Structure 1
Amino acid sequence: LVERAYPAAWRAKARRHPATRTFQALRMAVNDELGELQRFLDGILRRLRLGGRLAIICFHSLEDRMVKQAMRHWAEGCRCPRHVMRCVCGHEPEVRILFKKPVQAGEDELARNPRASSAKLRAAEKIAEDGTAGSDGACA
């Protein structure tokens, strides 16, 4: 049924069976996978020790976007609006992102494990206990 819902021209070019994405979406909805990931991201920094490293492997673009945005948010300094001339929030980065781009499987890994083709690894190191800054109020 799912296969017939896609145009024949699309099916001819597709690398995977059309039902793959459909059943992935159903599984993600039933298991509330994005909700679970968000709850994990909301609480993990409190559990990570100073100097501790967090590494997350994502297999789906929605998951990867959530992880990337969370890590960027944790790594940003001052969160004052742009029109404010001097930092008043005192926020300092909580993590240091370890790789600018996600780490992906190389050719040798893909030859041994084709399912690794969609995997993306992102990692960060905790550098501050919380988002509060020192007393000088300078932007990071």
Structure 2
Amino acid sequence: MTHTSGARPSICPTLLYADAKAAIRQLTEAFGFTELSVYEGEDGSVTHAELTQGNGVVMLGSKGRGGPFDTAMKDAGTTGVYVVVDDVDAHHRRAVEQGAEILMPPTDQEYGARDYMARDREGNVWSFGTYAPELPA
């Protein structure tokens, strides 16, 4: 999937990482995201980044910068995110080639989807598959 210009997603998962720069590399190189924007603080930390996949956006930043979101996420658990992709097997091969930790190989689901599951460097669980919820008109 390519980025849909002008589209505005209504849901944007937001993640914090101890090493946001490494997370951006893994998400782009292993999972096929496209870097939309990255803003860094004077200390080199990532204050805000946006990565796209299809018509979706993931926002992320560095842990430990302070502020309300960082404070709220301090003791939170890891995050799980589902991303719709056109070719699950090709996407999986790319992730494996980049050394991603695969939790479940590409699997046909009883509800008609095909997906796989991986964990990023900081424990967040990512599912990539063909299931795309249909939104009401």
Taking structure 2 as the reference length, the TM-score comes to: 0.30
More strand by share: 2
Larger Rg: 1
Which of the two has greater helix per residue?
A: 1
Q: Greater relative contact order (Cα 8 A, min sep 6): structure 1 or 2?
A: 1
